[in-house]
Amino acid sequence: VPNFEVPKEYESRTPPYSKLLEKHEIVKKILGNKPLTLAEKILYSHIADPEESLGSSQGKLENIRGEQYLKLHPDRVAMQDASAQMALLQFMTCGMASTAVPASIHCDHLIVGRDGASDDLTKSISTNKEVFDFLQSCGEKYGIQFWGPGSGIIHQIVLENFSVPGLMMLGTDSHTPNAGGLGAIAIGVGGADAVDALTGTPWELKAPKILGVKLTGQLSGWSSPKDVITKLAGILTVRGGTGYIVEYFGEGVSTLSCTGMATICNMGAEIGATTSTFPYQDAHYRYLAQTNREPIAKVADSVNKQYNFLRADEGAQYDQVVEINLSELEPHVNGPFTPDLSTSISKFGEKAKAENWPSKVSAGLIGSCTNSSYQDMSRAISIIKQAERAGLKPKIPFFVTPGSEQIRATIERDGLINSFEKNGAVVLANACGPCIGQWDRSDVPKTSTESNAIFTSFNRNFRARNDGNRNTMNFLTSPDIVTAMIYSGDMNFNPITDSIKLENGKEFKFEPPVGDELPSSGFTKGRSEFYPEADPTPKPDVKMNVSPDSDRLQLLEPFKPWNGEELSVNVLLKVEGKCTTDHISAAGAWLKYKGHLENISYNTLIGAVNKETGEVNKVYDFNGEAYGIPELMMKWKDEERPWAVVAEHNYGEGSAREHAALSPKYLGGSIILVKSFARIHETNLKKQGMLPLTFADESDYDKLSSGDTLATVNLKEMVALEGNNGGTLTLRVTKKDGSNFDILCKHTMSKDQVEFFKAGSAINYIGNLKRN
């Protein structure tokens, strides 16, 4: 394998292609030269020891996919401000002087959207100063790039700077797969997983199955890349991608822009996929070149040409294939409250009426990490310009969130910001804002009990996700449809077929939007203060100040190790229906406590519905006294009464939020027993030394009640077997009246995960290894 070299300043941002190709040769040999998918090529070439991970597969991919645990060495880590605090607090306990791989911190989640970029940013910097200072000093001490508040949203910055075909990275955010739009394998994880990569400890992942999405035809008119994923979410549902990497192929792929592919990969998180990725395209070369990375593009291009490394092998087999014809794809609108409730625009008005959704739209929001590319913005402007020429004024509030300073500065230079503002839009800071509950909305109060509908180009729409109001229905769609909608405000409006009455009585109909894939005069970087040093050198003398009186940051105390005995716990809560990470660890106002485990734990499961009473955030102690869920957890923790939560399907769906695992552990939880888990959350629970179990027979859920005692029968045996990469565990259930019966549960613990359980958490385990 030749040495694929890039100039020095590009080295830390280029995948180690030569090493990857060498590993790939070894993998091919082990697998008897079986044709591989792109995702497998990238993933398997990052395995620490291919012989150990794949050797027992007898060359059969079906023995690997969904079966084998892989120990991987990711190339890089990205962390957003909310999750970085806990990731870094955990990293600090390992006592290392610098990170083992390049890493970056991005201040985006803690910035509120309200009046516009400048005011909002000033206020948010002052409110979060302590946290931003902490993150910045972590960056300086350990040599991590620090992208400060206002620099942009993690995934957009990663796409513009770090994502490269063939790269494998971890990000402490569930939409990390956005980077797959540029041919990377980028996986959303909790902070404890990020610590694996940051400390150079192999990161473990059960080899995903591969779901191929074949794209044929070509998008046209009002249809956009967003519609590929909103349509796919409708087909596969929020659980359909669980355990899979989604890999796109087919002749339709080459018709997409790189940023369009990123939108599609971004929202792969909404179908539960481990990640999504695209094969190397000319569009990737163009995007890399335009974002100042032509030397990297050249190397990627030759790696692909010479070794066919950045696309699937001829004859590669997918575990499932879905086909989407782009030429026939209509715009889709998904929601409310779940991203897989997908309706084509032609049927949406009808559906809204039938479902009794509000007849008016109350606000439109575009941008976010999902849809803030130059192409998205220029298409939105083409709609705005048509309206402007016709004398149409927006009927509802309209907000625009640019994804990065580079995007903002470029659309400012090209006059797009001016057009947005002239036409009534509020341009918010380059940050998450309304996408993550940080929308300080002035038109509809948080406490309003009346339903209202918003249209957004975001990716997630669980209750209270945007403005903290449980009655706001967020309909996810393309920026094009959102923008057209602000001129109608009517849920029944379909811009493809309907017209709007002008003041002069004439009818006006929009033409389909047109945009530019990339800015014709290139990108401009914008304000230099938003750009960090390229390869910061660690400064070990930097002091990390965490005040014991702080209510924002708290140093971590290690969780207690397992005492070697069988567990006996009480069911504290039986959850009904959907229970996402937003239900388990609410965002919005709670984001401010992300670095303070005790304070944030008071949000634990406050969104969960009690199956036995239908109440939200209400549980009952043994004497019948009512408590908020975290309050009873705290009480039982003080009484040294370990507890379990019982729940239904896809528990922990949504984000990579590790507080959803840390807080239950901190509050004395031991077992989470459910019908099924979302992958990231299940892993996060294991990392925090919890025991995540699923019912072998789902109907056992109906047999359990709060207050029941669950006692493990064969935990010691399971531990002695070192998990055995999954298996069963029996629980003896004792009802309040003393009667008892056994139920069979399943677990997916690997050898390492059993070690985490024994040590009390993965960090305890890694810390012990690093210290010895």
Is residue 88 within 8 A of residue 143, CB to CB? The reply is: no
Cα angle, residue 758 at apex, residues 755 and 764 outer, rounded to 5°: 75
* Annotated active-site residue in 81, 120, 173, 700: 173
Contact residue for ligand F3S among 175, 379, 657, 681 (CB under 6 A): 175
Active site (annotated) includes residue 73: no
- Considering only residues 341 to 400 of the shown chain, the ones binding ligand F3S according to CB under 6 A are 368-369
Among the candidate windows 199-207, 431-439, 534-542, 641-649, which touches ligand F3S by CB under 6 A?
431-439
Is residue 691 within 8 A of residue 670, CB to CB? The reply is: yes
- In whole angstroms, how far apart are CA 755 and each of 31, 66, 316, 546? 29, 21, 36, 30
| Least distance (Å) between residue 174 CB and ligand F3S | 7
Facing residues of 371 across strands? 367
Indicate the burial class of 127 (C-beta count within 10 angstroms; 0-12, 13-18, 19 or more). middle
Cα angle, residue 80 at apex, residues 653 and 259 outer, rounded to 5°: 80
Active site (annotated) includes residue 596: no
| Least distance (Å) between residue 370 CB and ligand F3S | 6
- Considering only residues 261 to 320 of the shown chain, the ones binding ligand F3S according to CB under 6 A are none
- Confirm or reject binding of residue 591 to ligand F3S (CB under 6 A): no
What mask of x and - would describe binding to ligand F3S in positions 442 to 471, judged by CB under 6 A?
A: ----------------xx------------
Cα angle, residue 114 at apex, residues 112 and 118 outer, rounded to 5°: 80
| Least distance (Å) between residue 434 CB and ligand F3S | 9
DSSP label at 327?
G
Instruction: Considering the complex, state which of residue 108 and residue 376 has its C-beta at the smaller distance from ligand F3S.
Output: 108
Instruction: Considering the complex, state which of residue 176 and residue 650 has its C-beta at the smaller distance from ligand F3S.
Output: 176
Per the structure block, which two tokens stand in for 416? 């797009």
Q: What is the enclosing helix (H) or strand (E) of 139?
A: helix 129-142
| Least distance (Å) between residue 436 CB and ligand F3S | 4
The whole-angstrom separation of Cα 582 and Cα 657 is: 9
Active site (annotated) includes residue 359: no
Active site (annotated) includes residue 108: yes
Interacting residues of 275 by C-beta distance below 8 A, sequence separation 6+: 39, 176, 177, 180, 185, 186, 187, 188, 245, 246, 265, 268
Indicate the burial class of 560 (C-beta count within 10 angstroms; 0-12, 13-18, 19 or more). exposed
Q: Closest Cα partner for 265 from 225, 221, 300, 237?
A: 225
- Confirm or reject binding of residue 435 to ligand F3S (CB under 6 A): yes
Contact residue for ligand F3S among 6, 77, 154, 329 (CB under 6 A): 154
Active site (annotated) includes residue 697: no
Instruction: Considering the complex, state which of residue 428 and residue 754 has its C-beta at the smaller distance from ligand F3S.
Output: 428
| Least distance (Å) between residue 173 CB and ligand F3S | 5
Task: Bin 464: left if φ > 0, else alpha if -120 < ψ < 50, else beta.
Answer: left
- Confirm or reject binding of residue 30 to ligand F3S (CB under 6 A): no
Instruction: Considering the complex, state which of residue 36 and residue 428 has its C-beta at the smaller distance from ligand F3S.
Output: 428
* Annotated active-site residue in 460, 649, 681, 747: 460
Contact residue for ligand F3S among 81, 120, 160, 173 (CB under 6 A): 173
| Least distance (Å) between residue 368 CB and ligand F3S | 4
Contact residue for ligand F3S among 54, 432, 632, 690 (CB under 6 A): 432
The whole-angstrom separation of Cα 87 and Cα 186 is: 17
Contact residue for ligand F3S among 138, 153, 215, 258 (CB under 6 A): 153
Residues found near ligand F3S in the complex (CB under 6 A): 108, 153-155, 173, 175, 368-369, 432, 435-436, 458-459
Q: Which residues are catalytic?
A: 108-109, 173, 460, 655, 657
